[in-house]
A and B are shown apart, each in its own frame.
Chain A
Amino acid sequence: MTPGERRRTWVGLAFISPWIIGFVAFTLYPVCASLYYSFCDYDVLSPPVWVGLLNYKDMVSDSVFWQSVYNTLVFNLMSLPLGLVSALALALLLNQPVRMRGVFRAIYYLPSLVPAVAGAMVWLWILNGRVGLLNQALMAIGISHPPLWIDDPAWAKPSLALVSLWGCGNTVVIYLAALQGVPRSLIEAAMIDGASAWKRLIYITLPAISPVIYFNLLIGIIGGLQVFTTAIIMGGAERSTLFYAIYIYWNAFEYRHMGYAAAMAWILCLMIMALTWAASRFSRSLVHYQGE
């Protein structure tokens, strides 16, 4: 390194020093410690005791653990496609030459800004089995015994999927930005060639925005596996909404099984990696990057 290079490196490191300190203290150390704790019996109050693979073995025989895995996967299989497709449909409609687009966009976007706690309260109230707005509407149109929603084990997950759908405005705005980047010339050329609206959607628009669909899918998987706040506040009958992240939280802060919680977190990390990898394999032939 020349003296000039060395000086520049020091200046560069000085600028990124906040991140280096934060990285070591709040990421690198916790990641290593978490891995260590996952092989320990640890309750925070006393020092961790090495137990080898016990936490991981316990997981295999813990039926609540498996239930939380099942709940999380089933919930995501409902909410993820529902959210992605609805958001895309709304964005496609908003991308048409409609009047008051800004107003519509604001209306669809606003719920995604609502604090999760407040949103959960509002939805608890709407989904209230006896006097909730939804069931009153259903009874008014002649359904005499509507489900109890969050208090019904069979309906609790669909209820939460409905709540998450309310917050899909974020995704709508991302899609809308991507749609506005679709080359106008391609669409016009297709129109001249007599392609129908459906064909233009399938052969031009969707391939053009496929990287953004893929991005939303990944964000959806990563966020969906960690779904926490709405579910823990709204509850749900008979552990039907005991999701993975909630079970980690219970283990860490209610039962003080910090080692078990750390082990669960690492399995979550592996699940996210596996699903991300699967999504990338699945989408390899479907995602088109412009300029390639």
Chain B
Amino acid sequence: MRLPAKIIIYLVLVTGAALFVLPFAWMVLTALKPLHQTLQQSSLWLPRRFEAPIDGRVQEVYLAELITEPSVWAVEQGAPQPVVLPEKSVHGGVWQPPSGAPLPVRVIRLIPASASQPWREVGDLSGVARDVIPESSVRTSITFRWRNFPEAIRAMRHFPRYLANTLILCVLNVVGTVLSSAMVAYGFSRLEWVGRDRLFGVLLATMMIPFPVVMVPLYSLFRWMGWVGTLQPLWVGSFFANAFNVFLLRQFFRTIPKDLSEAARIDGCGEFRIFWQIILPLCRPALVVVGLFTFMGAWNDFLGPLIYLTDERDFTLALGLQAMKTSQSGATEWHYLMAASTLIILPVITLFFIAQRSFIEGIALTGTKA
């Protein structure tokens, strides 16, 4: 290949890869910032720690907006950050920096607004002087705020329950799907019997049915059984084989020579033992693929838990994350949301790096064998 073409290919690939990684990077960086740094325009890339001497001691301070001309500083009712208003837009007192502090200055501390007075003008408050310090005395260092993670877990309230529920569902779904799908796939591939292929056609046809069609009757069925509000609707079905996985495993089972089963049968080996002790161990790679994708499906599932889990204490992680966002009234605590998102994404990414080959082969299999 010619050199210019090669350079263009690498340029496109690297740029694309950077854009694909960017959301992850931004998520993690946000997760490591204090809240006020997430909510400023012209946010900084890296989390910072600002320190300034106040009352003779060096303290961590917020870095509010830079003020370069006389103006009014106010906190909007319920707003997460102070707003600096140019003096002409506000009636009332014009704020001047305290004596000795030349412009530009930073306003350091949040002053809460009261319900009766949605806008409080700083200019009216004499005690505010020490909250304002010259820009030149603010010291900046890059500091990652790891404590956002335990704080985010606490903000999610029932995090341990969510994690336990999610893991229970993952394990039960993986066990159920792998066992039942392998058994059914065995029946459809390694045994000859009347009507087999016709029934397999029915199985393939069920893959065409969109979930919304069965959503309502399944809900009323599980409701009639008294399972709504429990985890049962989210895993019991997995023990009854999933059509797509049966299809995938059947493809794999067919590649194993028939002689193997015949030899075992002649030795008097029962059909279930052949399945359990001979075929299954040979199909481990395919079973791993099915198990991995089932795990991911259970970990990521949102619609199922949304429909069936009613009590906030019984949620899964995916649903809990959504609940965390909707429960934040007013300002969104993006640093906690991003920390929680990181925690939910991390196991998935770890799993990918552990089992990368199975993932890639599994995906390729679903596309090319179809």
Chain A residues engaging chain B, CB cutoff 8 angstroms = 1, 5, 8-9, 11-16, 18-19, 21-23, 25-27, 29-31, 33-34, 37, 42, 44, 90, 93-94, 96-98, 104-111, 113-119, 121-123, 125-126, 128, 130-131, 133, 136, 139-140, 166, 169-170, 173-178, 181, 212, 215-216, 222, 225-226, 228-229, 233, 245, 248-249, 252-253, 258, 261-262, 264-266, 268-269, 272
Segment at the interface with A among B54-62, B119-127, B128-136, B342-350: B342-350
B283 interface residue per 8 A CB criterion: no
Nearest CB in chain B: distance from A141 CB, A: 13
Q: Is B102 an interface residue (CB 8 A)?
A: no
Taking a contact as CB atoms under 8 Å apart, the answer to whether B26 and A265 are in contact is no
Q: Is B282 an interface residue (CB 8 A)?
A: no
Give B residues with C-beta under 8 Å from A. 1, 9-10, 12-13, 16-17, 20-24, 26-27, 30, 38-43, 180, 183-184, 186-188, 191-196, 199, 202-203, 206, 208-221, 223, 237, 239-241, 243, 246, 271, 275, 296, 299-300, 302-303, 307, 317-319, 321-322, 325, 334, 337-338, 340-341, 344-345, 348-349, 352-353, 356, 359-360, 363-364, 366-368, 370
- Complex Cα distance A90/B21, Å? 15
Q: Tell whether A29 pairs with B221 under 8 Å between CB atoms, given A15-B191, A113-B296, A118-B321.
A: yes
Q: Are B206 and A23 in contact (CB under 8 A)?
A: yes
Instruction: Please tell me if the beta carbons of B180 and A19 are within 8 angstroms of each other in the complex.
Output: yes
Tell me the complex Cα distance, A265–B220, Å: 15
Question: Contacts A114-B345, A268-B213 hold; do A174 and B363 have CB atoms under 8 A apart?
Answer: yes
CB distance from B202 to the nearest CB of A (A): 7
Known: A115-B299, A116-B302, A178-B368. A266 touches B213 (CB 8 A): yes
Mostly helix, strand, loop or mixed at chain B's interface? helix
Partner of B214, one of A27, A44, A94: A27
- Residues B237 and A106 in contact, CB atoms below 8 Å apart: no
CB distance from A28 to the nearest CB of B (A): 9
Supposing A16-B199, A18-B239 touch, asked if A93 and B9 sit within 8 A by C-beta, the answer is: yes
Given contacts A18-B240, A93-B12, contact A117 B23 (CB under 8 A): no
Are B219 and A44 in contact, CB atoms less than 8 angstroms apart?
yes
Main secondary structure of the interface of A (DSSP, over half): helix
Residues B209 and A269 in contact, CB atoms below 8 Å apart: yes
Chain B proximity of A58: nearest CB distance (Å): 16
Please state if A178 and B213 are interface contacts (CB–CB under 8 Å): no
Asked whether A212 lies within 8 Å of B368 as measured between CB atoms, the reply is: yes
Nearest-neighbour CB distance to chain A for B333, whole angstroms, equals 11
Q: Which residues of A contact B194 (CB under 8 A)?
A: 1, 5, 9
Given A26-B237, A106-B356, A269-B213: A173 in contact with B363 (beta carbons within 8 A) = yes
Hey, which chain A residues are within 8 Å of B41, CB to CB?
A: 130-131, 136, 139
Does A215 lie within 8 Å of B221, measured CB to CB? no
Contact B352 A9 (CB under 8 A): no
CB distance from A176 to the nearest CB of B (A): 7
In angstroms, Cα B319 to Cα A19, docked, is 29
